[in-house]
Structure 1
Amino acid sequence: MLVRDVMSESPVVVHARARLSEAAELLAGHTVRHLPVVEAGALVGMLSDRDLRSVMSPRLIDEASLDELRSRYDAPVSEVMSPDVTTVHPETDLSESIDRMLDLKVGALPVVDPGTGELQGIVSYVDLLRALREKA
């Protein structure tokens, strides 16, 4: 089985200059956990709900921490995203994709065209579990 057989096509993406508050709305509104980050149409990073939580959750709630939290929500996605993104191709074998996800401890991999590098989709652990369920 190949990545193209299970990937989610046309994933929800976020622009690198978008504010973190916009990314949070996209994650919640589309019930996804991973957003490919694009700039000028090119994949430049990944943002996960975990990345967002790591910078958004205040330690103690007081006026100073609320001000800091507000400023974090205005920060660009590019400040928090993971810029070193491992990708797969539609023709990548699923077992190779699973190995990469396990080795890197990530929940999703962007799927790109091998010739152009254009984002074609995303394969997540949820996609893999669905494929497994259908085979069972």
Structure 2
Amino acid sequence: MTTPIPDEQRDQVVELARAGRARNEIAREVGISTASVSRICADAGVGFDRSLTAAALQARVIDLKAARLGLATSMLDDVQAARQRMHGADDNRNFLDGAKAVAALAGTHIKLVAVDRDDSSGTEAAKSMLGQLAHALGVAAAEDVDQVEDGGSA
């Protein structure tokens, strides 16, 4: 059987909740469980205002979306750099490695963009195009490997 929470603690819980303190914070300060804090507040008709939490969560979502967009943009720069290295390759092996890097970077870019995509904005078409481009680069690189192995040049 649990020990009843004294009236002084109950009053303190209600007072802290009315002052806008968070449930977990009250539980730590008073030394009771969060379930007890919830029960005491419900009995007293005191609710917890989650609007600040919702606003903080929304701000975090926006921050993370901006970070993903920045990373996706950087990935496009990396794709361009990898393409330049690929086309400047002096042998077939380096060209193929470059093509693989381009495909991997383009794929990562697609995945980053997909997290925040709005299907009504044509993102699916762009994703498909980039996927096809990455596949075509891989095919082209493989054909160049075959041509070099057959005695041709890249």
Normalised by the size of structure 1, how large is the TM-score? Answer: 0.23
Query: More strand by proportion, 1 or 2?
Result: 1
Higher Rg of the two aligned structures: 2
| Higher RCO, 1 vs 2 (CA within 8 Å, ≥6 residues apart) | 1
Normalised by the size of structure 2, how large is the TM-score? Answer: 0.21
